[in-house]
């Protein structure tokens, strides 16, 4: 199951380029043009591992320098399974690989990892030791040098669920620990040098487990999982003191479990999970809690066809930058197969939109594995789709905040009619998308390699290369004053790193609405100022760090 200002945003602005100075596009037509802009594959890396019997990607992260890290499971004929972590430069060049086999030489299964801004890597997974299973947590530095490994053996069997680095550089590992007939929801905190700072177990019932983890700016720890047949949400302070616990039992009174947790900018907690019903399927539940653990509301989604229990497992939950919208993705039965379903709710729990994808092919499974959101509040769903002529493919879908599907792209892998299972996706600071998963390279017997792909995105600007210019020009917006939209036209005479900045009257930057290398051409941006208050603002053209021109506009509401 998967695991992140009211200023002007590109998704709200719907930045699009003018095709000609003589054409004026309305917002609806520009949205259709934006829909056609597919992401561009920049590089692809395929990894089978040295002397292994296959590799499966588990997760992907980035550091503050744009380097990409991929966590894999690798399988060998000598140690059954090992941890594997890899590092790539942002251009896709291989930097290093590290494989770890625990002392028991039994099965090691990678589960999750996290990376600091400077590139230190912490990973956790389960390790076979003396024919029992325990939690192994490992640290490598940014050069791939092994720092330490810690094995938690707190019961007959221990298993990890998630790992995160807090703002002090300490590491939180969650999961479960089974001893003396009781399974406890487990939370462990290690220092950056591997010292165990505290261990907490929560066990109101005989079966308890922490699946997902969130850490706030004050280093409070929030976990989501299950306790008995109920959803379980816990909050610890940074010293390991339990501040509160919350159980949620769905109306059907069957087995409930949480699969994702996040906090919005206002400190509200959102948890998504499932409840079993008398069938092989489930209902989905989205919970909102305040920061004291009180449940504000619960929204239940039973599926896209009538009756309870028509969905399975949500892959996570995210919120918009201002906390006004909450999104999650799941997969639901449609009388012949499963389709990916993405839902948007307001912060008060009202349904904003529901979007479905199934590829128009019956009797096949389409399953989301990750949901992420960019700084412009666009939503991305990563998953796996099935087709009779190509097998299982990676799929990546982008929605605007209003639910409009902007694009969809697929990856079919190295073999025809093969198996390609997408695991996770991330975005970097330039809004490039990185996905990782597993692709079959041999069908009989089935053999997988870890596949990682980088996609770049058009920023929503299509240039008019036929309109040449010998100098930098920034034209007055039209209309001006305006409410709510206006157009800005600018031209550049040579390739340059271009920024279009918007300021308020006090000189505070409201947003950098363009920040990228651009070729010589003329461009038109349409800006929706509905999120701005009335007043005077300034927009500025900057090329290669030099201010070329500044203009003023006014919003009147």
**83-139, pLDDT tens digit by residue?**
999 999 999 999 999 999 988 777 899 999 999 999 999 999 999 877 789 999 999
pLDDT number for residue 214? 98
Buried-state track 315-343, b at ≥16 Cβ within 10 A, e below 16 = bbbbbbbbebbbbbbbbbbbeebbbbbbb
pLDDT number for residue 3? 33
Q: What is the pTM of this model?
A: 0.78
Q: How many helices (H) and strands (E) does the chain have?
A: 2, 39
Q: How far apart are CA 72 and CA 83, in angstroms?
A: 7
pLDDT number for residue 196? 97
Q: Is the pLDDT score of 14 beyond 50?
A: no
pLDDT tens, position by position, 447-492: 889 999 999 886 545 455 555 678 899 999 888 998 877 888 889 9
pLDDT number for residue 7? 32
pLDDT number for residue 467? 55
Range among 295-299, 430-434, 500-504 with highest mean pLDDT value = 295-299
pLDDT (mean) for 264-271: 97
pLDDT number for residue 13? 33
228 or 31: whose pLDDT is higher?
A: 228
CB 438 within 8 A of CB 57: yes
pLDDT number for residue 174? 98
Q: Is the pLDDT score of 359 beyond 60?
A: yes
Q: How far apart are CA 347 and CA 288, in angstroms?
A: 8
How much helix, strand and coil, in percent to the nearest 5, is found in the chain?
A: 0, 55, 40
Q: Is the pLDDT score of 199 beyond 50?
A: yes
Cβ-proximal residues to 16 (8 Å cutoff; 6+ apart), any chain: 25, 30, 33, 34, 460, 461, 462, 524, 525, 526
pLDDT number for residue 468? 61
Give the containing element (helix H, strand E) for 11. Answer: helix 10-13
Q: Where are the beta strands (DSSP E) in 251-309?
A: 256-263, 269-276, 282-289, 295-301
494 or 22: whose pLDDT is higher?
A: 494
* Closest by CA position to 85, among listed 112, 66, 116: 112
pLDDT number for residue 28? 30
415 or 141: whose pLDDT is higher?
A: 141
Q: How far apart are CA 13 and CA 405, in angstroms?
A: 16
CB 214 within 8 A of CB 291: no
pLDDT number for residue 524? 77
CB 427 within 8 A of CB 61: no
Q: How far apart are CA 70 and CA 450, in angstroms?
A: 9
CB 322 within 8 A of CB 353: no
The percent of residues in the chain predicted with pLDDT above 70, rounded, is 89
Q: Is the pLDDT score of 16 beyond 50?
A: no
Average predicted confidence (pLDDT) for the chain: 86
């Amino acid at each position: 199951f998967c695991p992140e200002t009211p200023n002007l945003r590109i998704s709200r602005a719907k930045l699009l380029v003018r095709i000609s100075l003589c054409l004026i596009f309305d917002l609806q037509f520009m949205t259709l043009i934006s829909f056609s802009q597919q992401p561009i594959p920049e590089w692809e890396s395929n990894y089978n591992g040295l002397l292994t019997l296959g590799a499966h990607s588990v997760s992907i992260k980035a550091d503050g320098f744009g380097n990409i890290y991929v966590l894999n499971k690798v399988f060998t004929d000598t140690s059954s399974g090992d941890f594997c972590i890899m590092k790539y430069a942002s251009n896709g060049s291989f930097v290093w690989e590290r494989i770890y086999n625990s002392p028991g030489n039994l099965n090691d299964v990678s589960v999750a990892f996290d990376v600091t801004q400077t590139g230190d890597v912490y990973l956790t997974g389960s390790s076979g030791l003396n024919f029992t299973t325990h939690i192994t947590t490992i640290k490598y530095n940014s050069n791939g040098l092994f720092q330490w490994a810690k094995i938690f053996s707190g019961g007959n069997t221990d298993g990890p669920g998630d790992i995160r680095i807090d703002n002090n550089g300490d590491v939180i590992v969650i999961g479960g620990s089974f001893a003396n007939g009781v399974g406890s929801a487990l939370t462990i905190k290690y220092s950056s040098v591997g010292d165990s700072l505290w261990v907490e177990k929560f066990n109101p019932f005989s079966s308890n487990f922490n699946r997902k983890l969130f850490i706030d700016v004050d280093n409070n720890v929030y976990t989501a999982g299950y306790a008995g047949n109920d959803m379980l949400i816990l909050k610890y302070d940074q010293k390991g003191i339990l501040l509160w616990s919350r159980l949620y039992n769905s109306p059907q009174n069957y087995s409930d479990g949480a699969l994702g947790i996040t906090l919005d900018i206002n400190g509200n907690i959102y948890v998504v999970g499932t409840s079993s019903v008398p069938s092989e399927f489930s209902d989905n539940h989205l919970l909102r809690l305040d920061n004291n653990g009180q449940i504000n509301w619960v929204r239940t989604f039973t599926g896209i066809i009538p009756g309870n229990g028509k969905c399975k497992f949500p892959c996570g939950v995210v919120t918009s930058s201002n906390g006004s919208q909450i999104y999650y993705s799941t997969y639901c039965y449609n009388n012949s197969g499963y389709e990916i379903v993405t839902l948007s709710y307001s912060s008060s729990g009202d349904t904003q939109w529901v979007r479905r994808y199934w590829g128009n092919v019956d009797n096949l499974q389409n399953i989301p594995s990750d949901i992420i959101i960019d700084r412009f509040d666009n939503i991305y769903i990563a998953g796996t789709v099935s087709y009779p002529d190509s097998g299982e493919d990676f799929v990546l879908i982008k929605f605007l905040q209003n639910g409009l599907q902007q694009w969809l792209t697929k990856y079919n892998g190295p073999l025809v009619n093969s198996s390609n299972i997408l695991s996770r996706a991330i975005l970097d600071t330039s809004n490039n998308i990185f996905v990782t998963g597993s692709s079959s390279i041999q069908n009989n017997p089935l053999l997988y390699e870890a596949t990682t792909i980088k996609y770049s995105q058009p920023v929503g600007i299509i240039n008019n290369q036929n309109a040449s210019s010998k100098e930098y020009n920034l034209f007055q917006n039209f209309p001006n004053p305006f409410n709510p939209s206006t157009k800005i036209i600018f031209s550049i005479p040579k390739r340059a790193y271009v920024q279009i900045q918007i300021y308020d009257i006090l000189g505070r930057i409201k947003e950098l609405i363009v920040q990228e290398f651009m070729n010589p051409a003329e461009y038109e941006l349409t800006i929706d100022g509905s999120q701005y208050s009335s007043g005077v603002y300034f927009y500025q053209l900057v090329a290669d760090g030099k201010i070329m021109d500044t203009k003023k506009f006014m919003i009147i509401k």
